Every structure is written in structure tokens, then in C-alpha cells.
Amino acid sequence: MQLQQGQLAKIIGLSLGNAFVAIGLPYELGQSGRATKREFGDFQCNGAMAGGKTLGKNPREIATQIAAMIAGQAGIEKIEVAGPGFLNIFLEPTLLNNRANEILDDDRAGAEIVPVPRKIIVDYAGPNVAKSMHVGHLRATIIGDSLKRIFRFRGDEVLGDAHFGDWGFQMGLLIASLAQEQPDLPYFDENHTDAYPEISPVTLADLERIYPQAAAKVKVDENYRDKARKATAELQAGRAGYRALWAHFVTVSREALKREFAALGVEFDLWLGESDVDHLIADMVEDLAKKGILVDDQGAKVVFVHDKMVPAKDGGERPNVPPLLVISSEGSAMYGTTDLATILDRKNRFQAELVLYCVDQRQSEHFETVFRASDKAGYLRRDQLEHIGFGTMNGKDGKPFKTREGGVLKLHDLITMVRTKAADKLQEAGVAKDLPAEERAQIGDMVGIAALKFADLQNFRGTSYVFDLDKFLSFEGKTGPYLLYACVRIKAILRKAAEQGVIAGEIMIAEEAERELLLTLDGFELALSGAYEKRSPHILADHAYNLAGAFSAFYANCPILAASDGAVRASRLALASATLKQLEIALDLLGIQAPERM
């Protein structure tokens, strides 16, 4: 288990760093990390090893010199030189106590705020009109939502955008197909002048039935394909009936999707889509041409973004990054064109300084092309655009998760399956059995969603993982339910304390398990900043799990309400309260909510 450092390590690092500078070595050599064993102190520093190479001296000699310089400084109880030149640092109890009480009194539980906030847009989920979300949308949604929460908590001004797929040829397909099924609808009457119906003529189920049929038909029926293309062109040109029908498609799809997102505890600040930038494309294309970066290429118009040529499979050469196809040889704006216009919109309308795209890592080349085109056009710079790629959620066969029939599992069906399994798990374990049925059902939902989210977020996003619901729902091990149980146990202690009239007081670190719990609490800021800087929620998930484990050890070794000394009771109760606060904040940043009881 990798242990995190935090504010205490920064304090020690300041003293050590200044000491290294004083003998002509870099400040960074003073960085320290948690000691691997208690006998090695609270923190260890191995900077003398690198310093020895730089100065051509014995590292132990340098370590001895550094130890002498900082021995007796405030906060340091003892410093030892070990082995070939390691520095073992033991902290004074006063420093530990002060840090514990700082965390207790801090609404942010020890977390810092970025010095210079930025305006950030997180683009995640990527739902589409006429299509239910499937398991492929799950990771984009969970990871994106967590990153939005983390960035916002750090102090940035963040907007989450679902980036709705609501424009293009697929809309023409739906219109053309519905025109054949229900030709008498007023939307298809070019002479219709009255207001169009407010109630949609189709449901999401209708759209899900129509779309795959239309998509299959267009591949074999050229006449039908021409009708769909014409419908697409007329929609985008502003034909009133088609616009009204399209608005129904969007509304029924969006409302259904919002229910799925609500079940996951996910919200968006923006529900913008491809259609929202359609009016920008003509002027943008003209701008690209005026800047001299839009060039003709075999009848199409492209923006070349490569910086070198690399060997091609045919023995020749090809650009290391493909060009952005802006206008096809048929005169149509392309998918990448819309993405580029969206970047321009995010810059001009929202003054975005950073945009994160949470999309399957298999789309990396597409985004690299679009991002380079944005940079070349002078919209947002390449370093202001990031593709947050991720691996797949796989079945036990190691392949992307499918239904038993081999189809793609709908997200709604997955959530239902998880909720049902969680309820069964609670019943088997006898958890919450004495609670009212309604509350027990709510707890089951929380356990299921926590299991699903934590199973995803505990992994580095770039890796794939195996979907194993029985493992995810366990109350033991590194799981969401285990973390929920840790929260519930602390809440039960606090309720019992209130009933007994025990009040939390000043924290005084004395026992080893208390010390370990505090040092873990102190690591919150480093874990949070790591998740923030690396765009990797798994670092925060690791911290939450380590914190729950440290509290479990503390609870087993340090009686709280049963402590004979009143000051000790008050101290340990306060330490438990600080743990709950930080643990709930960490879980909230992962998009996980803990129940009050089980």
C-alpha cells in the first residue's frame, strides 16, 4: 500500500530543503515520504543518496550533516541517520496534535484551494438522440462527473457539459423514416401554418425502434439514403416542420437520459449539443480559409496539423497526425468540424481556459487532430485541451462487457441489475434488516451505486477492468460498500456519543493507531492534488480506502466511548468526527453518497 504525504511532510520538507540548499544541493532533495515502518520514524528522506553523487561524497556523511542542522527545530522530536544515508524523522507530539485539530476545525478537512482558479469545461457522458445509453457510456459518465467535482472543490469555476449528439445525418434518417410511417403528421406538410403539437408523436422506445431499422435500410436503399440526406439538409436549413419534429426527438431523448443520470447521481450544468454550434460553422470555415490553413485536398477541404512524416504501410510516408476534414468532397461539414466549432464556442461564450474530454481512449487520434487544428487556428491552445481517455469495462472473458445474448447492455438494465443484486446482498447479510422497507430500499440503491462507481474509479482510468458484481458488492476489501460501512459505523458512534452526552474535545495523539490515522488524514491534500493534476480519481479512491482502513485499526485498538479517561474519550471522538468529515468529502468527490445507517 503506497502511503501519501501531506501538510506535515511539507513542513519537514521545508526544513530539510533549506538544509540541503545550505550545503550547495537542490532544495528538492529535502522531499520526504511516509516511513514504511514505525521504527523508521514518521517520515523518511533519501535525498542524501542523490546528494552524495552530486558532491562526490559519502551519502551518510551528507545525511549526518543535514541531521545536525535540523535537529531540535520546531516540530522535530528526533532525527536519525540510517543505513547508507537515509534520514528518519520523528515528529513532536505537539505538531501532530496541532495538525489533527486543524483538520477537525477545517470545513475542507485539510484540503487546499488552487491559488489561481480557472474556467473549465468537462465534456463527459456523450449521450445521443434516439439512443439509450449503454455500458460504454458508464465510464465516461462516472470519470467525468468525478473530475468535475474534484476541479470544482479545488476552487476552479467548472461547467459539466453532456455534449448531446443531436445533429447530423442521423436526424435526417429519423425524419425520413417517420415520414414513411406517419406521412399525415403536420410536420411533413410544407403548407402547414398553424402551431405544431406540443406533445411528441414519438417516444424514446419509438426512436430506438426506428433508428436501427433506418440505419440498416440506408445501407442498401440508395433512394432512401437520398431522402434522408435531403431531410438532413432541409432540417439544417431551417424547415419549420422538421425543426419542430427534431425538437421532440431531443426532448423525449433528453428526459429519458436525465432519469438514467439521476439514478447514477450525475448532473450537468449544460445540455448543449452539436446543433448549438451549427450556426457558427459557415463563419468558422471562412475564418480558416482567411487564415490560409484551409486547403483543398482531393475535392475536400482540410486543415493539415502534422509536424512530421512517418513511414506508411505501403512503404511511403504519411503525416504522423491525420488532417482535420472540415468539408467533405460532397460539401458537408463533418464530425470534426462540429468539434472544432464547439471549441470556438467554448472559448467565446464561456471563456473556457481548459476543456477536458472524457471519451474512450480509442478516440485519441481524432482528438489530437481537432486539438491541433484549434491551436493552429488560434482558438484554444493545444495545452488547453485534454483528452481524458479510459479503457473498457470488460466481462470475465476479457472482452468489452456484453449481455448473455452478445448484445450491448443498456445502462438502464445495468443499473437495475446492480440495484437488484445489492438488495439481495443486504438481505443475505442481514444488513439494515430492522429498518423500514423504504429506507432499506434507499440503502440498497446507495450500496449498488457505490459498488458500481468505486469499482470503476479505484482503477487508473487508462486501464480496463473486469466487471464482477459479486466482488464489487462485498462489504470486505477495497469496495464501495466497505467504505459506506466505514461511514455508517462512525455515524453510529457519534449518535451513541450524543445519547450518552459525550462531547468531542481537543485531539491529543498518544497511541500508535491514533498517530497512523492522523498521518493518513494529513495525506488528503496530496491525494486530492494528485487526482487533480493527473486527472486520475483513482488516487483519491486509494486515499478513501486507506483512510477507512486506518480508522478500522484505530477503532479496534483505541476504545472511544469505553475509554476510562474523559479527555481521551473526547479526543478520540473528535478524531472519529474528523475522519467521517474527510471520508464523506472524499466519497462525494467520487460521486458516492453514504447512508445514515445500515
Average pLDDT on 303-330 reads 92
Tens of pLDDT, residues 377-433: 999 999 999 999 999 888 888 887 876 666 778 888 889 999 999 999 998 888 888
CATH superfamily of 7-91: Arginyl tRNA synthetase N-terminal domain (3.30.1360.70)
Neighbouring C-beta atoms of residue 368, cutoff 10 Å: 17
Domain with CATH 1.10.730.10 in the chain: 411-589
Is the torsion defined by CA of 55, 56, 59, 62 positive or negative?
negative
Give the pLDDT band of residue 87 (cuts 50, 70, 90).
very high
Checking if the pLDDT of 3 tops 70, the result is no
Average pLDDT on 121-126 reads 95
Average pLDDT on 337-366 reads 97
Checking if the pLDDT of 496 tops 60, the result is yes
Average pLDDT on 471-478 reads 94
Q: What is the pLDDT of residue 25?
A: 96
Average pLDDT on 516-541 reads 96
Checking if the pLDDT of 2 tops 50, the result is no
Average pLDDT on 164-175 reads 91
Tell me how far apart the 2 most distant CA atoms of the chain are, in Å.
93
Q: With pLDDT > 90 as the criterion, what percentage of the chain qualifies?
A: 80
**Mapping DSSP to helix (H, G, I), strand (E, B) and coil, where does residue 491 land?**
helix
Q: What is the pLDDT of residue 366?
A: 97
Tens of pLDDT, residues 239-271: 999 999 999 999 999 988 888 899 999 999 999
Angle formed by the axes of helices 512-522 and 7-22, nearest 10°: 80
What CATH fold (topology level) applies to the domain 411-589? Isoleucyl-tRNA Synthetase; Domain 1 (1.10.730)
Separation CA 67–CA 325 (nearest Å) = 62
Q: What is the pLDDT of residue 447?
A: 96
Domain with CATH 3.30.1360.70 in the chain: 7-91
Separation CA 26–CA 54 (nearest Å) = 10
Q: What is the pLDDT of residue 201?
A: 95
Give the long-range contacts of residues 473-478, CB within 8 A, separation 24 or more.
Answer: 473/421, 473/422, 473/425, 473/447, 473/448, 475/429, 475/431, 478/545
Average pLDDT on 53-66 reads 94
The strand pair at 33-34 and 43-45 is best described as: antiparallel
Average pLDDT on 191-213 reads 92
Q: What is the pLDDT of residue 4?
A: 39
The model's pTM: 0.92
Separation CA 88–CA 79 (nearest Å) = 6
Residue whose C-alpha cell reads 439514478 in the numeric block: 263
Average pLDDT on 68-96 reads 93
Which range is least confidently modeled, 57-66, 125-134, 137-146, 576-585? 125-134
Mean pLDDT of the chain: 93
Which range is least confidently modeled, 98-102, 282-286, 309-313, 545-549? 309-313
